[in-house]
Amino acid sequence: MKLNKALEIAFVTDPGRVRGHNEDSIASDATVGLIVLADGMGGYHAGEVASAMAVTRIFCETRDGLATLVPGQTDRESGLRYESLIVRDAIRKANEEVFRLAAQRSDYSGMGTTIVAALFYDNRLTCAHAGDSRMYAFSYGKLRQLTEDHSVVREFVKTGMYSEDEAKASFNPNIVTRALGASVELEVDILERTVQPGDLFMVCSDGLSNMVREDRIEKTLAKIPDLKSCARELVDLANKSGGEDNISVALIRVVSEYKAQEDWQTQMLDWFNR
């Protein structure tokens, strides 16, 4: 089955109630199974430049890489599927591009962006990320965070001296320890897992996760079956809680299996028949 039939994707992005403009960028393409979310940071409008650049570059590089990929292969050195390496390298190229532009223009100095890229392929998922934007899995009424924040708050929580709520109250929750554009090289965390029909995933910026408790997100995901309406409700909840940051949410439901061989053969046939 084609990926665009096997996946249901909906997303909403909103500036929130405090910020004058939206520095989040989010996009999806169900035909290649890719969803990318970036939460920009920097000077006046520089954050939205960084996030938009990153999303565009990651989409271009990932599509080009997948177009020539023979699916189902694993890299011996890293143990990762080649699809994962394509997404990782796309993020690294985006990082270089953002870093270079920030160094060239004084009005973009210090700009950067978090990133979460989710690629669905061969009944699998790769999640690549840097920063504090997150990906979750929702099953059996429970929400589970798949990514680990690269943030000052998370570093203090890991010491065991603070709970997450205590750390957020004591330290600026918006300070990240890893982001695109911060340096010429970027470490990208990679998660791989198998998926099956009925699985539901959520990607979000910290404008949601910092404003809405996980138990409230769980209840919303459980009661609203329509993905677009559910994403909209989650954004509304963040705004009702203060809307202190830009808010972006993407929901992805696996509708059916999507074997790589069938899907890529179909895509190649479609390409030759154009």
Q: Sorting pLDDT into bands at 50, 70 and 90, what band is 163?
A: low
In order of start, what are the domains of the chain with their CATH numbers?
3-265 (3.60.40.10)
With beta carbons less than 8 A apart as the criterion, state whether 251 and 230 touch. yes
Span 224-260, pLDDT tens digits? 999 999 999 999 999 999 999 999 999 999 999 998 8
Residue 266 has pLDDT above 60, yes or no: no
Q: Sorting pLDDT into bands at 50, 70 and 90, what band is 268?
A: very low
Q: What is the pLDDT of residue 20?
A: 86
Non-local (6+) Cβ contacts of 272 within 8 A are none
Q: What is the pLDDT of residue 132?
A: 96
Which two tokens mark 182? 């911060």
Q: Sorting pLDDT into bands at 50, 70 and 90, what band is 171?
A: low
Say how far apart CA 210 and CA 27 lie, in whole Å: 22
With beta carbons less than 8 A apart as the criterion, state whether 6 and 257 touch. yes
Q: What is the pLDDT of residue 45?
A: 78
Q: Sorting pLDDT into bands at 50, 70 and 90, what band is 158?
A: low
Compute the 3-state secondary structure of the chain and give helix, strand, coil in percent, each to the nearest 5. 40, 25, 35
